[in-house]
Structure 1
């Protein structure tokens, strides 16, 4: 299949978390057509084995490349850690971008060299994460206080999130970071930016009288990296910028409940007219 600048960009996650990355991509590259897949039948990836996650990622990548996407964004830290090398090996000619917990920018901006990392257990256990952490510990003498946030993804996936339950979870998970004195927090899962305000509020109460913590969300860095690669490969779509009669499209698909995805597109991104459709992927 021949790609051109008008070909779409594929983005996927285990659920709605990757919409936080799509939000940054759409803001930076408004002329690009976007295809989003929520693999909600398998959410959350963080509780699955590496083999299961990789199998799902390969299946979704195969589907998106068959649709003619010019770039693939793995908008999930857990999926990136488990499968990015295998995806790039399987599709060496394709643009494939993954997520990486923002440990490096966090270490660079932390004043006291104590950084809290909120992520899934699978991400924290991955060789990719641990290798980067160990490297930065040696290079920057930064202390990373990691916390696996069990249950947080499932809570964020709910159409009507329980505010009390969210508060209790965040208090428990952030307490260890406050005790350690972390002045910078890494959102190591693409779901977490959707509760960023709650994280900031709870953390501020755990550290009364101290300056607000710096929050690292790597979604915008992913969008910027995508833009650079599209320009390098002469694939950035400028047509809809030049032609005001045509606008870029966003289409969403899910292996789970379509009504839920439509609701979350409206709630999280204010995309009340974004087409959302069911998707079946043959194993």
Structure 2
């Protein structure tokens, strides 16, 4: 699709993540924009992104975006914190006229909600070390007194990809990540990876087990959906719908049945998934 050509309102919105985490964003998009056609790509064959070099993540983001645009996508949602931090600048440079929405950890709302200015942030190591994330943190520090206490969570994405949302192993892992933050008296906790909302119940179990019911947990998926709506409205690209109901297509770079099972388990959707190979492209 060339960017200077007519874009049909019924063209789909492309959404991608390293795996199933982006489904937490997809559910908010489906709720807010019920008439939009959606194409979801899970790069499970290359998951997780968090432990990979930034150049690899940029290449995958560019390659998947090219695939989604070949499917007719009129807008892109990078439903992955790590990919947003690593690749959003490259994507916007390559497709300057296309609405592109990334995922940012909810540092700003957390700074406003925190009563004592101590905010814990759970995310992948690549997200926490990324230039975009650190710039956002520093900008907020200039205008607020919030202290952000960062905690990388190696292994958590893999647990969620395996469907271990409330297993003893996942609970123990989350206790190891969250209890030290609670010991530093945080009153707000940011879920800085789109996978993490799927273990929110287990996260809250850890918080409640530490007798800290005052801690506010922040998930930014709804804010992403609202930003997508704003950009589609600004470009005159909102699909008003024809009463036939929105369509959803799904692709995976790994086992299709695993993503189908995740759709059913996490969203309650019986979704057909096609397995595809997306070749890498030069940045």
TM-score by length of 2: 0.95
The question of 1:85 aligning with 2:82 is answered no
The question of 1:7 aligning with 2:6 is answered no
Quote how far apart the aligned CAs of 1:159 are. 3.5
Out of 255, 258, 264, which is 1:257 matched to? 255
Q: Which residue of 2 aligns with 1:42?
A: 46
RMSD of aligned residue pairs (Cα, Å): 1.1
Q: Which residue of 1 aligns with 2:158?
A: 154
Q: Which residue of 2 aligns with 1:278?
A: 275
1:144-202 superposed Cα distances (whole Å, 9 cap, x missing partner)? 11100000000000035561001100100001210111111100000000011110110
Please say if residues 174 and 206 of structure 2, whose CA atoms lie closer than 8 Å, have aligned partners that are also in contact. yes
Please say if residues 17 and 76 of structure 1, whose CA atoms lie closer than 8 Å, have aligned partners that are also in contact. yes
What does residue range 163-174 of structure 1 map to in structure 2 within 5 Å?
163-174=167-178
Alpha-carbon distance between aligned partners in 2 of 1:177 and 1:159, rounded to the nearest angstrom: 25
The question of 1:112 aligning with 2:109 is answered no
Alpha-carbon distance between aligned partners in 2 of 1:155 and 1:36, rounded to the nearest angstrom: 21
Please say if residues 122 and 191 of structure 2, whose CA atoms lie closer than 8 Å, have aligned partners that are also in contact. yes
Please say if residues 250 and 275 of structure 1, whose CA atoms lie closer than 8 Å, have aligned partners that are also in contact. no
TM-score by length of 1: 0.95
Quote how far apart the aligned CAs of 1:239 are. 1.9
Alpha-carbon distance between aligned partners in 1 of 2:255 and 2:189, rounded to the nearest angstrom: 32
Please say if residues 49 and 83 of structure 2, whose CA atoms lie closer than 8 Å, have aligned partners that are also in contact. yes
Quote how far apart the aligned CAs of 1:138 are. 2.7
The question of 1:213 aligning with 2:215 is answered yes
1:83-111 superposed Cα distances (whole Å, 9 cap, x missing partner)? 00010000111111101010000000100
The runs of 5 or more residues in structure 2 that have no matched partner are none
Alpha-carbon distance between aligned partners in 1 of 2:183 and 2:57, rounded to the nearest angstrom: 34
Aligned residues: 276
Out of 95, 98, 104, which is 1:94 matched to? 98
Quote how far apart the aligned CAs of 1:225 are. 0.6
Out of 199, 208, 226, which is 1:195 matched to? 199
Moved over 3 A (4+): 159-162
When residues 161 and 228 of structure 1 are mapped into structure 2, their CA distance, relative to the original with a 3 A threshold, is closer
1:229-259 superposed Cα distances (whole Å, 9 cap, x missing partner)? 111111111123xx2xx11111110000111
SS at match of 1:225: helix
Alpha-carbon distance between aligned partners in 1 of 2:180 and 2:141, rounded to the nearest angstrom: 19
Please say if residues 165 and 199 of structure 2, whose CA atoms lie closer than 8 Å, have aligned partners that are also in contact. no
Alpha-carbon distance between aligned partners in 2 of 1:205 and 1:107, rounded to the nearest angstrom: 24
